[in-house]
Amino acid sequence: MPELPEVETIARGLAKRVVGDVIESVWLGSKPEPLKSPAAEIEAALASKTILNVRRSGKHIVFDLADPVRKGMPAAQWIVHLGMTGRLLVCSAESEVAKHTHAILRLASGRELRFVDPRRFGRLAVIEKFAPPGAEPLSIPLTKFVALFRGRKTPIKSALLNQKLLSGVGNIYADEGLYRAKVRPRRRAASLTADELRLLHKGLKQVLQEAIRLGGSSISDYVDSEGQEGFFQLKHRVYGREGKPCQKCGTPIKRVVIAGRSSHYCPTCQK
């Protein structure tokens, strides 16, 4: 599932290509799973609207829209969650429509914005004003970050994946952030010292920012809005490296399962 860096990369790419364009018409497929809002409501909210901005909020892509008839007044927001295999592609109207295409927005520029999702875990919705449930990992102050984990008895890895605490952090970047903080994923969140939480706050931000610069991690299905893969998977220090030597100490990386999710760590470097 695309995490914060992948969603940020896609949102930035889309913003460069479709901001200022007008949605002339909307086609939605017959499969009900991707639609979190009723089809008629989505069509009405999007048709004839100008795309003011495309941005990331947590793991969601937010399209800020305006009604040209009302002189650019803000309209409802279009919210896209990519799920596991969702893609947003800007295509020429003449290009072949891919299998598993669930939405096509015809733009005034003559192009089309298409939502493709083979596994149908992605979601499309319209809402007046979207707000993610948790804090933004790239901007949360240290004091608030520390307060999130105070007294929590769950493993720190599970706490990092809790979207009600931090919106956007997923399996890859939780593992990589914990490695930089020298903390094992099974440690209870409440057991982390102030210094360990400071290192985790810093390390998590660093790994997210570096991943954004490299276009995210292409592990399986992920590509950006232009169909290009990311490169951060080449920089992973623990995620997906079970049995391979730690790049710092040479100890084989271990894999454990925490709450049904794979976690990777170095048993020497992380305590």
Q: So which residues are the catalytic ones?
A: 2-3, 59, 261
Rg over CA atoms, the chain: 20
Instruction: Write out the H or E segment, with its range, that includes residue 149.
Output: helix 142-149
Residue type, 222: Y
* Residue 193 DSSP one-character state: -
How far apart, in whole angstroms, are the C-alpha atoms of residue 2 and residue 9?
Answer: 10
d(CA 200, CA 57): 21
For residue 95, count CB atoms less than 10 angstroms from its CB and return exposed for 0-12, middle for 13-18, buried for 19 or more.
exposed
Give the type of residue at 199: L
